[in-house]
Amino acid sequence: MTKIKQILLDCDNTLALSEHLAFEACADLTNELLQKYKIDATYTGKELLTEFVGQNFRGMMVGLQKKHNFDMDQAELERYVNMEVDRVTAKLLEKCEPCPGAPEMLEWAKQKGYPLAVVSTSAKPRVVASLKKCNIDKYFKDEHVWSAATSLNPPSSKPDPAVYNFAMKELGVKPEECITVEDSKSGATAAMRANIPFIGYVGVYGIEDGKEKMEQMAKVLTEQCKAAVIMYDWKEFPECLKKIEESS
pLDDT in tens, 168-199: 999 999 999 999 999 999 999 999 999 999 99
pLDDT at residue number 26: 87
Residue 81 region by backbone torsions, left for phi larger than 0, else alpha for psi between -120 and 50, else beta: alpha
pLDDT grade for 207, boundaries at 50, 70 and 90: confident
The percent of residues above 70 in pLDDT, for the chain, comes to: 99
Whether the per-residue pLDDT at 1 is higher than 70: the answer is no
Whether the per-residue pLDDT at 23 is higher than 70: the answer is yes
pLDDT at residue number 43: 95
Sheet strand arrangement including 178-182: 145-147, 116-120, 6-9, 178-182, 198-201, 229-231
Whether the per-residue pLDDT at 54 is higher than 80: the answer is no
Whole-model pTM?
A: 0.85
pLDDT grade for 53, boundaries at 50, 70 and 90: confident
> Quick one: DSSP state of residue 99?
P
pLDDT at residue number 50: 83
Mean pLDDT, the chain, integer = 94
Nearest to 226 by CA among 205, 194, 210: 194
Alpha-carbon gap, residue 62 to 9, rounded angstroms? 25
pLDDT grade for 110, boundaries at 50, 70 and 90: very high
Alpha-carbon gap, residue 116 to 5, rounded angstroms? 9
| HSE-up of residue 24 (Cα within 13 Å, Cβ side) | 11
pLDDT grade for 8, boundaries at 50, 70 and 90: very high
Torsion sign across C-alpha atoms 218, 221, 227, 233: negative
**64 vs 208: which has the higher pLDDT:** 64
Alpha-carbon gap, residue 167 to 37, rounded angstroms? 37
